[in-house]
Structure 1
Amino acid sequence: MAGTRSTGRRERLRAETTAEIKSTALELMGTGGPDAITLRAIAREMGMTANAIYSYFATRDDLVTALIADVYTALADAVDAAWSASAQDAPAQRIQAWAHAFRGWALANPEGFRLIYGDPVPGYRAPDGGAAPDAARRVCVGVTALAEAAWAGYEQPHGDAEFDWEDFDPGLLDKVRPAFPALPPAGVALAMRIWGHLHGLIALEIYGHLRTQTLSPDKLFHSELTQLVKTLGLEA
């Protein structure tokens, strides 16, 4: 019994230290950019020896991979939950719920947003298949679901019909076509345009570019969403 308690204590302490290492890495990135993520800097910040931290992550890239997996999964969970909680017969509300969940997560986790959508970590090499393939697929499918929700009533502007499957990366199509077999190439293009609307405004906010332009970023984002929904021919 004592041995079991001791093992459990060690596992708990290891999990707590691992979480602190990840948290410290994101804090260092927030203040010093992606260059600041080094195992030695994290060890110094935490009062650990370099050798001790290597027992948790053998390389800096192992740590970055773990960070990306955590961050991406948290984002996927947030937007999936918002989508699932919204009514299936109300596409405008579903799109707005997904978008607000994405922005809310980004504002609460700016360093995480920058890690997966902004500043690359110099010299980082992701493992084969990516650092978080399942989470990346879920977010990609989520964005495409926004387009599918609007597609039936969407009035395609001139040029939409010109899209072919050859216009898209095969890796993207591997993610979205099995989930949306009836969606044509123009529907995938619509998903990318919706993503551009949402991601672009959120990125401007996360990187501080809106601070000198508006005191009401919430109102600006809501206005953008309202206009997007109208453009898609949906009732808000």
Structure 2
Amino acid sequence: MTATGGRGRRERLRAETTAEIKAVALALMASGGPDAITLRAIAREMGMTANAIYGYFATRDDLVTVLINDVYTALADAVDAAWEAAPAQDPAVRIQAWADAFRGWALANPQGFRLIYGDPVPGYHAPEGGAAPDAARRVCIGLTALAAAAWPHAQHLYEDSAFEWSDFDTGLLDKVRPAFPELPPAAVALALRIWGHLHGLVSLEVYGHMHTQTARPEKLFQEELAQLVRTLGVPHP
């Protein structure tokens, strides 16, 4: 075997082991909660020594940071793709597509959803700038794009809005204002309202609370979304 071939095999095996470590970490979190993610527990599940797993992730926080970045990026990719695939001239369809992609991704990746939107991992310290700054920015911009699409139809509903820029976190504004410099504070508030509608129902479904109440949670989600679009005055085909 050539030196290059041996290096390629080692790199492939390392990538496979790294992927398995991340999968086991998410499985442990699903069964035992966020504090179940420990390198020693993962090593036990994989039949590795603790020292061996430290060769892949020096600390538990390093692993959690990678997991959050992977999960958040996958979500951002899913909703961005849905938004771009929907016709730009039809804001109702674009809002529907983004929302459906968000729910679909969350249901297909419940452990990932819990990692980024559920209880924090105890004792975890994110690196400066956050664990997934680019993905977080993309999702924030995507949500604000929903409000921007609805704003021409809904702005008359917010003529008496008392929201000011100082009412919002500077980190949020740093993400969305450069992308939508024409939007007023009330439109950012609208983006958070839309987020509340989507996130609330999806969270109940991911955590299993919705299934005890209805056999058709997807129908409830779709009707809530349709009602939201109608309330905002966005024309729907």
Asked if 2 retains the 8 angstrom alpha-carbon contact of 1:68 and 1:132, the reply is: yes
After superposition, residues 16-165 of structure 1 pair within 5 angstroms as 16-157=16-157, 160-165=160-165
What is the letter of the counterpart of residue 121 of structure 1? V
Paired with 2:44 and 2:155, the residues of 1 have a C-alpha distance of: 57
Judge which range, 129-138 or 159-168, deviates more: 159-168
What is the letter of the counterpart of residue 31 of structure 1? S
Question: Any idea what SS the aligned residue of 2:211 has?
Answer: coil
1:87, distance to aligned residue in structure 2 (A): 0.4
Paired with 1:13 and 1:80, the residues of 2 have a C-alpha distance of: 32
Paired with 2:142 and 2:49, the residues of 1 have a C-alpha distance of: 42
TM-score for the superposition, normalised by structure 1: 0.98
1:160, distance to aligned residue in structure 2 (A): 5.0
Paired with 1:105 and 1:75, the residues of 2 have a C-alpha distance of: 7
1:161, distance to aligned residue in structure 2 (A): 2.2
Q: How many residues are treated as equivalent by the alignment?
A: 236
What is the alpha-carbon root mean square deviation over aligned residues? 1.1
Asked if 2 retains the 8 angstrom alpha-carbon contact of 1:65 and 1:126, the reply is: yes
What is the letter of the counterpart of residue 177 of structure 1? R
Question: Any idea what SS the aligned residue of 1:142 has?
Answer: helix
Asked if 1 retains the 8 angstrom alpha-carbon contact of 2:87 and 2:93, the reply is: yes
User: CA distance change for structure 1 residues 155 and 22 in 2, over 3 Å: closer, same or farther?
Assistant: same
1:149, distance to aligned residue in structure 2 (A): 0.2
Residue 231 of structure 2 is matched in structure 1 by 231
- List, as ranges, runs of 4+ consecutive aligned residues in structure 1 with deviation greater than 6 Å: none
Residue 186 of structure 1 is matched in structure 2 by 186
Paired with 1:124 and 1:64, the residues of 2 have a C-alpha distance of: 8
Asked if 2 retains the 8 angstrom alpha-carbon contact of 1:39 and 1:50, the reply is: yes
Question: Any idea what SS the aligned residue of 1:194 has?
Answer: helix
Asked if 1 retains the 8 angstrom alpha-carbon contact of 2:79 and 2:102, the reply is: yes
Paired with 1:160 and 1:210, the residues of 2 have a C-alpha distance of: 36
Q: Deviations over 1:89-147 (max 9, x none)?
A: 00000000000000000000000000000111000000000000000000000000000
Q: Where in structure 2 are there 5+ consecutive unaligned residues?
A: none
Paired with 1:62 and 1:235, the residues of 2 have a C-alpha distance of: 46
Paired with 2:186 and 2:220, the residues of 1 have a C-alpha distance of: 28
Paired with 1:70 and 1:213, the residues of 2 have a C-alpha distance of: 32
What is the letter of the counterpart of residue 135 of structure 1? A
Instruction: State the identity %.
Output: 75
User: CA distance change for structure 1 residues 149 and 158 in 2, over 3 Å: closer, same or farther?
Assistant: closer
Q: Deviations over 1:64-93 (max 9, x none)?
A: 000000000000000000000000000000
Asked if 2 retains the 8 angstrom alpha-carbon contact of 1:72 and 1:132, the reply is: yes
Asked if 2 retains the 8 angstrom alpha-carbon contact of 1:29 and 1:35, the reply is: yes
1:235, distance to aligned residue in structure 2 (A): 1.9
Asked if 1 retains the 8 angstrom alpha-carbon contact of 2:147 and 2:188, the reply is: yes
After superposition, residues 156-235 of structure 1 pair within 5 angstroms as 156-157=156-157, 160-235=160-235
Question: Any idea what SS the aligned residue of 1:211 has?
Answer: helix
Asked if 2 retains the 8 angstrom alpha-carbon contact of 1:34 and 1:122, the reply is: yes
Paired with 2:165 and 2:183, the residues of 1 have a C-alpha distance of: 11
User: CA distance change for structure 1 residues 160 and 141 in 2, over 3 Å: closer, same or farther?
Assistant: farther
Asked if 1 retains the 8 angstrom alpha-carbon contact of 2:158 and 2:186, the reply is: no
Asked if 2 retains the 8 angstrom alpha-carbon contact of 1:160 and 1:186, the reply is: no
Question: Any idea what SS the aligned residue of 2:143 has?
Answer: helix
1:159, distance to aligned residue in structure 2 (A): 7.3
